[in-house]
């Protein structure tokens, strides 16, 4: 075994993204390091798929941290990360352990986590990822890493080819990686806002959404085209019982972080403010419909409503009608 590959690897947090990434890490270490991933999740049953792959569940974060050299964290937001860090710090001895956080949080949260762990002689790397759950499942995320160079060397085997299609080394300051992710989230949210507005105009002016989508594919790149597909193919409003690619509530949190970072340096993200307003209104639509989960692209539905259209586009209406007809047979 190469010296930069820890013997015991742990994973904390098995949301849709965390579970997908943890499965890829388990497959890798079982084959390459001849070891088994340790994992912990608040809802233990989420680890069933990992156990089928040979991973080992832990009863607590303290047990996992005690047993592991390298611990990945994947959780939902800043509050959840702070709670996990507090539980890690409650472990008596964390000297020399390396913690890698893949969560999208505010850069200030990252900086505080780094400082707390440094004070206990542990290392910390921020490694937020770009991509939705299907991309995580295929191991094709883009990962931004920042932290001490020795720690980055230890994590390298788990990056490109395991968790990610490519890894960007941003800085030796972990908070710079989450700032990079925040900027990426702003660009994504702004793109979805622009594409949503353009698609509504194309629909109302009878140019047609398919024609515009072809233009986006041929002339404006993958992000524009994939954002359009999330709208025209109904991803923005998942079927009843289906999980979104990227949860709306987390998307709102991400855009708020971007606005906060801009305000902190005397700048302003005006497009983010517009996108945030539509996302918050989409959440109100969700609340009015029994808390139906929406994708972070669901601001498109609000743009439709503001133009006199239904929140549901034709694709969604036909899809849901087919489902209702099938369930009634």
| Residue 11 contacts residue 68 (beta carbons within 8 Å) | no
- Give, in degrees to the nearest 5, the angle at Cα 111 between 104 and 266: 85
* 199 lies in the same domain as 276: yes
- For 154-198, the pLDDT digits (tens) are 999 999 999 999 999 999 999 999 999 999 999 999 999 999 999
Residue-level pLDDT at 109 = 98
* 18 lies in the same domain as 157: yes
Q: Pick the closest to residue 94 from 72, 67, 114, 126 (CA basis).
A: 67
- For 106-129, the pLDDT digits (tens) are 999 999 999 999 999 999 999 999
Q: Is the pLDDT of residue 132 over 90?
A: no
- Kindly state whether residue 2 falls inside one of the protein's structural domains: no
- Residue 309 CA from chain centroid, whole number: 30
Q: Pick the closest to residue 73 from 36, 22, 8 (CA basis).
A: 22
Residue-level pLDDT at 6 = 55
What CA–CA distance (Å, rounded) separates 271 from 268? 9
User: 56 has which bridge partners?
Assistant: 38
- Among residues 153, 172, 191, which one ends one of the domains? 172
User: 130 has which bridge partners?
Assistant: 142
Residue-level pLDDT at 327 = 60
Residue-level pLDDT at 267 = 97
CATH code, domain with 199: 1.10.1040.10
* 195 lies in the same domain as 313: yes
Q: How many domains does the chain have?
A: 2
Query: Which of the residues 160, 181, 253, 323 is marked catalytic?
Result: 181
Helix (H) or strand (E) segment spanning residue 119: none
Domain that holds residue 164: 9-172
- For 252-289, the pLDDT digits (tens) are 999 999 999 999 999 999 999 999 999 999 999 999 99
In this prediction the pTM is: 0.89
* 23 lies in the same domain as 162: yes
Handedness of CA 50, 55, 61, 65 (dihedral sign): negative
Q: Which residue has the tokens 């133009």?
A: 307
CATH code, domain with 135: 3.40.50.720
Active site residue 111: no
Residue-level pLDDT at 329 = 45
Span 141-154, mean pLDDT? 97
Residue-level pLDDT at 243 = 87
């Amino acid at each position: 075994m190469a010296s930069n590959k820890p013997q015991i690897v742990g994973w904390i947090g098995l949301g849709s993204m965390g579970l997908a990434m943890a499965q890829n890490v388990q497959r890798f270490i079982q084959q390459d390091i001849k070891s088994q991933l340790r994992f912990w999740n608040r809802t233990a049953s989420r680890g069933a798929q990992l156990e089928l792959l040979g991973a080992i569940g832990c009863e607590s974060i303290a047990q996992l941290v005690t047993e592991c050299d390298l611990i990945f964290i994947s959780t939902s937001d800043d509050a959840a990360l702070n709670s996990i860090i507090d539980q890690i710090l409650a472990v008596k001895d964390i000297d020399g352990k390396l913690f890698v956080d893949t969560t999208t949080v505010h850069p200030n949260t990252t900086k505080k986590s780094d400082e707390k762990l440094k004070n206990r002689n542990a290392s910390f790397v921020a490694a937020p990822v770009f991509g939705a759950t299907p991309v995580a499942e295929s191991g094709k995320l883009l990962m931004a890493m920042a932290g001490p160079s020795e720690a980055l060397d230890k994590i390298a085997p788990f990056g490109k080819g395991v968790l990610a299609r490519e890894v960007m080394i941003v800085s030796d300051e972990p908070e710079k990686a989450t700032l990079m992710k925040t900027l990426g989230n702003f660009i994504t949210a702004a793109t979805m806002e622009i594409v949503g507005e353009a698609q509504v105009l194309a629909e109302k002016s009878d140019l047609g959404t398919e024609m515009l989508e072809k233009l986006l594919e041929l002339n404006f790149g993958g992000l524009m085209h994939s954002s359009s597909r999330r709208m025209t193919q109904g991803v923005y409003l998942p079927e009843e019982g289906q999980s979104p690619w990227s949860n709306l509530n987390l998307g709102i949190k991400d855009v708020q972080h971007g606005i906060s970072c801009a305000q902190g340096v005397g700048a302003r993200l005006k497009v983010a403010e517009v996108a945030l307003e539509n996302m918050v209104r989409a959440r109100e639509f969700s609340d009015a419909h029994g808390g139906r989960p929406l994708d972070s692209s669901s601001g498109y539905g609000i743009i439709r409503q503001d133009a006199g259209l239904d929140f549901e586009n034709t694709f969604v209406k036909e899809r849901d009608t087919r489902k209702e007809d099938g369930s009634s047979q």
